[in-house]
Amino acid sequence: MWRGGSNTRTCKRRFFSSPTRSRHHRPPYICRLHSRGSQHLKAMAEVDHLAAERATARFDVEEMKVAWAGSRHAVHVADRMARLVASDPVFRKDNRTMLSRKELFKDTLRKAAHAWKRIVELRLTEEEADLLRQYVDQPGYVDLHWGMFVPAIKGQGTEEQQHKWLPLAYKFQIIGCYAQTELGHGSNVQGLETTATFDPKTDEFVIHSPTLTSSKWWPGGLGKASTHAVVYARLITEGKDYGIHGFIVQLRSLEDHSPLPGVTLGDIGGKFGSGAYNSMDNGVLRFDHVRIPRDQMLMRLSQVTREGKYVHSNVPKQLLYGTMVYVRQSIVADASKALSRAVCIAVRYSAVRKQFGSQDGGPETQVLNYKTQQSRLFPLLASAYAFRFVGDWLNWLYTDVTQKLEAKDFSTLQEAHACTAGLKAVTTSVTADAIEECRKLCGGHGYLNSSGLPELFAVYVPACTYEGDNVVLLLQVARILMKTVSQLASGKQPVGTMAYMGKVQYLMQCKSAVSSAEDWLNPDAIQEAFEARALRMAVNCAQNISQAASQEEAAGFYERSPDLLEAAVAHIQLIIVTKFIEKVHQEIPGHGVKEQLQALCNVYALYILHKHLGDFLATGCITPRQGALANEQLGKLYAQVRPNAVALVDAFNYTDHYLGSVLGRYDGDVYPALYEEAWKDPLNETVVPEGYHEYLRPLIKQQQLKLSRL
């Protein structure tokens, strides 16, 4: 019922033969003679400026790649797809920020068409094709086609509807998008205004946009590319409004791509940052009484009969939100990808960059050796790993819930909603902030487009808003927390990620036994502190809401919503910490791999504890002294991570192409690359800039004339 996109774990494999490759999947870098202005730079043989860093690693990087990717098979497939993309000139992206919007959009169409051609020619599996698209790394209509249009039909269409529409979508005979949000409403899905009124005379629905605010607004791929959309509209039949339902609507001609009669379509305009998300044609759409056959209503959950009778299957209405739940879980995995890219750039560059420290002409200090740099960077490195593992777990949960739903077991629906909504909110917020932090960690050069960080930030930051504004989603988690707390008194045992709340008697009064910094390395000590903090914050909120006895519960919730947000964050951080601890408890092969993950797990947990110390102290879970000990241990852990830092980001296994950053290059040969990149800027195409004769020369001449008259 919630069937979404592919579950890559179960994908059938069909490899195309691949050439043998060197250990690191980048072409050997030969520093080229620079075309302009840099003739003094001599061609050099390949040099690994980070070799000394790599030599200090105390673990097996190849095995860490397996731990990161999930399996040896996953490393292998990702490696092949990444190289395939990196070696293909069509997928070049280093000039992207210099293209105009129109050029960028056309470039996106070209890349998408070429990617599809390669997928067909090489007969790639679904898993391989997904990865290939990921490494092309340019937001475009295909993301919504595969990521939302297809999953919506799979999840909400009947067998016949799937049989009819999916083959068309799979072969790109139609291109689809997901048209839910309107100009007037996004978060409040039940507030959408577009109508789908059944006309029994013709056996059709009439799709209409009654107001300006009912215009569909934002859907990716809608503006220029899509031929079809799953449109969410209020179903009206026999004079009654049955609320929001999904409909497959054709928007453009399959002959000449012109909008069909009654359909007004366009792009909503340029977005934040150069390049970045501007490759996507987020669109506006209005309907003027557009007719579609009745069988284009997605009828898996509810149906309208030929006579116009509304029939709702005996399933929870929230299944209509299934596509969003599917995408939210995939966004958590994407957060670890975006965060690990930023961290990889910042760690490698921090190892190359040197400032201060030399009084006598000796070597300067690598900025990675500054404790402040480590205390800003290593928690982000740990977070990348934490998000990766919680993302894997969430993918498992999603698959499990989907199977239960197929068997008409809806008991885990709430758990799935709380986990996907909360983890989406926390991981995207942290990642967006972390990318910006990585930019600052790279100093001035981080601000250059060639660092890759400005574009990564601009592409990533809307993840805090799309698929549910993060605050709105955290309030959903808070509601479920409050419901769970209120049920504790009745003796109902919470399950899943809320199970810890069942230990309410103990967790409300327990005192941490930590008495030395080392005690904080005990996972039980961490787990208990996080559980007690999350539970006490939730219980405090529930008490404050109920104490406002004069108010309705909803009004109390509204008043206390800032505190509720924090309680929801505490609960989600507990889940992330728990899943990291569980991961480290598993068998993990490879020399030193488990030890490194253990250290990163502790960094993650103690960093969160340090950052939110106020919560832990205010709820009395730990004492100020124990808080100070946690911080002391954190410093020791940073020292442990330091010699492994570069190898830990190498384990992400990213090609230079995918990273797209002169600062994050695998070989660390940053300065010639920065120098060379600068000359590629269109401003450097002419020595004397355009506009000199119009504006600069007359200005200078005028001033000279004035001066000569004096």
Ligand X SMILES: Cc1cc2nc3c(=O)[nH]c(=O)nc-3n(C[C@H](O)[C@H](O)[C@H](O)COP(=O)(O)OP(=O)(O)OC[C@H]3O[C@@H](n4cnc5c(N)ncnc54)[C@H](O)[C@@H]3O)c2cc1C
> Which positions lie near ligand X, rule CB under 6 A?
144, 178-181, 185-187, 218-220, 277, 282, 462, 465-469, 471-472, 475
Tell me the C-alpha distance between 612 and 573, whole Å.
11
Binding of residue 189 to ligand TC6 (CB under 6 A): yes
- Cα dihedral angle (302, 305, 308, 310), rounded to 10 degrees? -30
Rg (CA), the chain: 28
Contacted by 321, from ligand X, ligand TC6, none: CB < 5 to 8 Å by type: ligand TC6
Nearer to ligand X, 119 or 472 (CB): 472
Catalytic status, residue 467: yes
Query: Is 220 flagged in the annotation as binding?
Result: yes
Sites for ligand TC6 among residues 199-238 (CB under 6 A): 220
- Nearest Cα to 115, choosing from 150, 147, 90? 90
Q: What is the closest distance, in whole angstroms, from the C-beta atom of residue 565 to ligand X in the complex?
A: 9
Binding of residue 563 to ligand TC6 (CB under 6 A): no
Q: Using CB under 6 A, which of 97, 156, 181, 209 touches ligand TC6?
A: 181
Q: What is the closest distance, in whole angstroms, from the C-beta atom of residue 477 to ligand X in the complex?
A: 13
Contacted by 476, from ligand TC6, ligand X, none: CB < 5 to 8 Å by type: ligand TC6
Q: Which residues of 325-344 are buried (b: 16+ CB within 10 A; e: fewer)?
A: bbbbbbbbbbbbbbbbbbbb
Residue reference for tokens 């000359």: 679
Binding of residue 190 to ligand TC6 (CB under 6 A): yes
Tell me the C-alpha distance between 441 and 373, whole Å.
7
Binding of residue 410 to ligand TC6 (CB under 6 A): no
Sites for ligand TC6 among residues 426-485 (CB under 6 A): 466-468, 472, 476, 479-480
Tell me the C-alpha distance between 666 and 654, whole Å.
9
Q: How far is CA 491 from CA 481, 487, 538, in A?
A: 15, 7, 17
Q: Using CB under 6 A, which of 252, 341, 417, 612 touches ligand TC6?
A: 417
Sites for ligand TC6 among residues 296-335 (CB under 6 A): 318, 321, 324-325
Contact status, residue 390 vs residue 431, Cβ threshold 8 Å: no
Binding of residue 143 to ligand TC6 (CB under 6 A): yes
Binding of residue 141 to ligand TC6 (CB under 6 A): no
Return left, alpha or beta for 418; rule: phi > 0 is left, psi -120 to 50 is alpha, else beta: alpha
Nearer to ligand TC6, 68 or 218 (CB): 218
Secondary structure class of 6 (helix, strand, coil)? coil
Asked whether the CA dihedral 152, 157, 159, 160 is positive or negative, the reply is negative
Tell me the C-alpha distance between 303 and 247, whole Å.
11
Contacted by 325, from ligand X, ligand TC6, none: CB < 5 to 8 Å by type: ligand TC6
Q: What is the closest distance, in whole angstroms, from the C-beta atom of residue 11 to ligand TC6 in the complex?
A: 21
Nearer to ligand X, 124 or 564 (CB): 564
Q: Using CB under 6 A, which of 18, 188, 369, 547 touches ligand TC6?
A: 188
Going across the sheet that includes 263-267, the strands are: 216-217, 283-287, 263-267
Q: How far is CA 391 from CA 122, 399, 484, in A?
A: 29, 12, 24
Per-residue tokens: 110: 């070209």
Contacted by 640, from ligand TC6, ligand X, none: CB < 5 to 8 Å by type: none
CA 221 to chain centre: 18
Contacted by 100, from ligand X, ligand TC6, none: CB < 5 to 8 Å by type: none
Query: Is 181 flagged in the annotation as binding?
Result: yes
Which of these is catalytic: 467, 528, 531, 676?
A: 467
Q: What is the closest distance, in whole angstroms, from the C-beta atom of residue 560 to ligand TC6 in the complex?
A: 16
Contact status, residue 407 vs residue 419, Cβ threshold 8 Å: no
> First vs last Cα of the chain: how many Å apart?
85
Q: Which residues contact ligand TC6 (rule: CB under 6 A)?
A: 143, 178, 180-181, 186-190, 220, 318, 321, 324-325, 413, 417, 466-468, 472, 476, 479-480
Per the annotation, where are the binding residues for FAD?
A: 181, 220
- As annotated, the active-site residues are 467
